[in-house]
Amino acid sequence: MAEKIGFLGLGIMGRGMARNLIKAGFDVTVWNRTPARTDEFVAAGARAGESPAAVARACDIVFVCVSDTPDVEAVLFGEQGAAAGLSAGKLVVDHSTISPQATRAFAEKLSALGVRFLDAPVSGGSEGAAKGTLSIMIGGAAEDIERARPYLQAMGKTITHVGEQGAGQMVKLVNQILVVGNMLAAAEALLFAQAGGLDLSKALSAVAGGAAGSWMLSNRGPQVIARDWRPGFTIDLQQKDLRLALRAGDEMGVPLVATSLIYNLYRTLQQQGLGSEGNHALVKALEHLAGFEIKGA
């Protein structure tokens, strides 16, 4: 028999995820910082909770999907936070992308209350959230994942248990380091190709299928060539996630030379008002440096 579930945070990602849980027929109670946003969910069959504490009191499992480390902290441990309504045996699943170190601290605080915890950041963007095709990387106990699996399956296509608490966040940051590193390679290659007078689409199709291939090249390369900067994932979010990666790297003492460089480039683009463009607009930083642009197709 399905448990009662709560969902905290109906932003660009949480919205689609909560809808999929409701559509799947689960008993869902939602909460959002801006209360008006809950109306459509109530219309679709959910209940609305007055606060994270109220939702936690009413439910067995509480899913969280907010922006950054302080937001998770506020939703869990702030005034009227979920912790006030949680009791032994309940389970919290955090889908936000936040600090692995803070995640472990949160998990410990909940553990002192007998509350179970999984960190379960997602990738796949708002489209994946809407379609229920997210990749979910989870840190925590296998039994807790089994307990959450029916609900996770309503939201994501790939559910991977990657280690203990905090490991989900750590893997998410590994993911982000790769995404931007591959994008930098694509940007530098496209700029070189432009300077070399190549037909960029032909060049792309000649190399994308082999050892030079990457998801970013195949999916964002054509967008760059078309100068289509609409986001799959915005620079603002990318910059936030890279900051998490750099701070984690800093605490662990691991050098992230390329990621630091890329962070600087994203931060600068953001400062130039491009924060809502897609992360492939990294190309623009190299264009500024080079003094010429990749010509649209």
Contact (Cβ atoms closer than 8 angstroms) between residue 148 and residue 95: no
Q: What minimum distance in Å lies between the beta carbon of 128 and a copy of itself?
A: 9
| Chain-centroid distance, C-alpha 259 | 18
Q: Which of 3, 189, 222, 276 binds a copy of itself (CB under 8 A)?
A: 189
Q: Which residues contact 40 (CB under 8 A, 6 or more apart)?
A: none
Whether 172 and 156 have beta carbons less than 8 Å apart is answered as no
Q: Which stretch binds a copy of itself (CB under 8 A): 4-12, 16-24, 64-72, 263-271?
A: 263-271
Catalytic residues: 172
Among 74, 198, 222, 236, binds a copy of itself (CB under 8 A): 198
Count the site residues for a copy of itself by CB under 8 A: 83
Judged by CB under 8 A, does residue 127 bind a copy of itself?
Answer: no
Which is closer to a copy of itself, CB of 28 or CB of 216? 216
Check residue 265 for interaction with a copy of itself (CB under 8 A): yes
Instruction: Name the one range near a copy of itself by CB under 8 A: 24-32, 47-55, 89-97, 253-261.
Output: 253-261
Kindly indicate which of the ranges 29-37, 58-66, 144-152, 168-176 contains the residues binding a copy of itself, using the contact rule CB under 8 A.
168-176
User: Is 117 near a copy of itself (CB under 8 A)?
Assistant: no
> Least distance to a copy of itself from the beta carbon of 216, Å?
7
CB of 241 to a copy of itself, least distance (A): 12
Closest distance of CB 184 from a copy of itself, Å: 5
Q: Assess 177 for contact with a copy of itself (CB under 8 A).
A: yes
Rounded least distance, CB 118 to a copy of itself, Å: 14
Question: At 253, is the secondary structure helix, strand, or coil?
Answer: coil
Angstrom distances, CA of residue 52 to CA of 9, 164, 238: 10, 25, 27
Residue 195 lies near a copy of itself (rule: CB under 8 A): yes
Residue 32 or 169 having the CB closest to a copy of itself: 169
Are 77 and 92 a contacting pair, CB within 8 Å?
A: no
Asked if residue 173 binds a copy of itself (CB under 8 A), the reply is yes
Pull the structure tokens for residue 201. Answer: 């689409």
In the three-class reduction of DSSP (H, G, I as helix; E, B as strand; rest coil), residue 276 is classed as coil
Residue list 128-167, contact with a copy of itself (CB under 8 A): 135, 137, 158, 160-163, 167
Q: Does 224 contact a copy of itself by CB under 8 A?
A: no
Q: 9-36 in b/e burial notation, b at 16+ Cβ within 10 A?
A: bbbebbbbbbbbbbeeebbbbbbbeeee
Tokens 């900051």 correspond to 243
Cβ proximity to a copy of itself, 23 vs 202, nearer residue: 202
Cβ atoms of residues 47 and 76 within 8 Å: no
How big is the chain by its Cα radius of gyration, in Å? 21
Distance CA 127, CA 254 (A): 33
Q: Shortest gap between Cβ of 202 and a copy of itself (angstroms)? A: 5
The C-alpha atoms of residue 290 and residue 118 are separated, in whole angstroms, by: 45
* Residues within window 3-42 making contact with a copy of itself, judged by CB under 8 A: none
Whichever of 51 and 99 has its CB closer to a copy of itself, that residue is 99
Q: Which helix (H) or strand (E) holds 106?
A: helix 100-111
